[in-house]
Chains A and B, each alone.
Chain A
Amino acid sequence: MLLQKKNLLWVVALVIALFVPQMITNPAYRQIAVITLIFTACATSWNMFSGYSGYVALGSAAFYGTGAYTMALMANHMHVPGNGDMFWLVPLGGLAAVVVAIPVGLVALRVRRHTFVVITIAIFFVFQLSAINANFTGGTGGLTLPYVPWQIQNYHLPFYYVALVVLVFAILLSAGVRRSRFGLQLLAIRDDEDRALGLGVKVFQVKLTGFAMSAFVFGMGGALYAMMQGQIYPQFVFDPMFDITIALMAFFGGFGTLLGPIIGGLVLESAQQYLTVTYSNGSLYLILFGVLFLLVILFMPQGIVVFVRDRMAQRQDRLESATKQVSNETPVAQGVHS
């Protein structure tokens, strides 16, 4: 019964998501919607590795950028026409990110959590600086993608639905992992890596697999973003803020929960866009964002999802104890509630 109700909520959310572009017709807002979906997909995928295993990665922008450059380079060199055919390159961007993530993981995952955070940052800078300095990436000028001649009014519509597919894929992947034996192994690593190792979990392989899997969604997100923008620059697709934003979304919603990063992504990305639009003064925006961020971490350290769930559990407890009192007074009614 409860499970069905839960599934019903997902279906309702999906139906609403399908009709969002019909409700907002302004191309600027539609673009925000697409970017929100891409970021939410990335946050979900980030959480699938970092949230479940406890290994906080702050360099996933390397995979996002890899996806974006794969899209740009392949579209240009294979002379893909500027139309819907380019969408087929999106999963290829994801694959390229996985291929890149495996050697990165081989190096970065040799260390424990605290050092892992810093190594991922360092590896990210290796990617960013290479993209800026290498020849085939076009340097700081970036790369131009084939022009997609869609009407400006409905330009973002196809991107919206492809981004939605990517997001649904990321959610299904994350949910599937969480329910699988593999997901249990990741969670065991988060709780106590040495004990997991002692119990026979092949921790290194498990971590590497999770890390590479999460890169797939980052690559797809980057590829989609590149195609939509039509032009990429190394400092924007390899953006150090990207990872902080993604991590914040996951923590804001609920680190290690399935629902958390989805809620965090949808709420934060739109809030961020709203603040940017309202306070064109960048400094004030930084201060407001920082303060908001601090308040959330300090008062809801486990994120919205856990916070709300705890409150609901408390209410449930209170209700139950109240019912118990009532049923103690009238023992006849006991059977009705159980």
Chain B
Amino acid sequence: MDANEVIVSIQDVSKAFGKQEVLNNISLNVYKGEIFGLLGPSGAGKTTLVKMLTGFDLPNRGENYLFQEKMPSLKLIEKIGYMAQSDALYGELTAKENLEFFGALFGLNGKALQSRIGKVMDVVELSDHLNKTVHHYSGGMKRRLSLAIALLHEPALLILDEPTVGIDPVLRKSIWNAFYNLNEKGTSIIVTTHVMGEAEKCHRLAMLRDGRLIAVGTPEQLKAETSSSSIEEAFLAYGGAKA
């Protein structure tokens, strides 16, 4: 982990939809080479925060910087691999056709595209199902194909919104192994989750509750500070202190 290089900087960001405040004055840095977890119950504002980082939405107050440049910017979009909560695949097409389509949008073509398709399908262990229609994929396979598409253009930063929701423990482990592999090769990862156990797999964590940042640190730090034995207890301790 390179503590010097900040790749994501969220500065005093607030967001409200109408009168409902979703994010309240969030400030956060993510460093290069980290697996950074955004932990919080549903409705805490995780997805809203992620959508601002990917340029879908703008904050009402504050600023977001990616790679030292202000979001939103079309140029930055190319550096991000984004996987949303929904699988977002074309069911009528084969896995290969899906990959080819999204690859072409990122300017990949010819041999480079085919070789990237081979690589990402290896990462998610779907190489044997390349020519299958997505319609015939199981839920877990769709999730993994969705991840493969996000990896296609070799993004320096991966933003994953609840990547393992509704996935069985075996598959969850294999997806996390894929994250570690990518991370070793230098990809920074931001992952949102509401599963406390999963949060422990991240290098650093931010805890969100009701749109407020309640704690940031490594899982060990967070547990030690609250003298808890689990992330869940730590979350309760931080949440309780604020309440």
Answer yes or no: are A and B bound together in one complex.
Answer: no
Identify the A interface with B (CB < 8 A).
Answer: none
Q: Give the interface of B toward A (CB within 8 A).
A: none
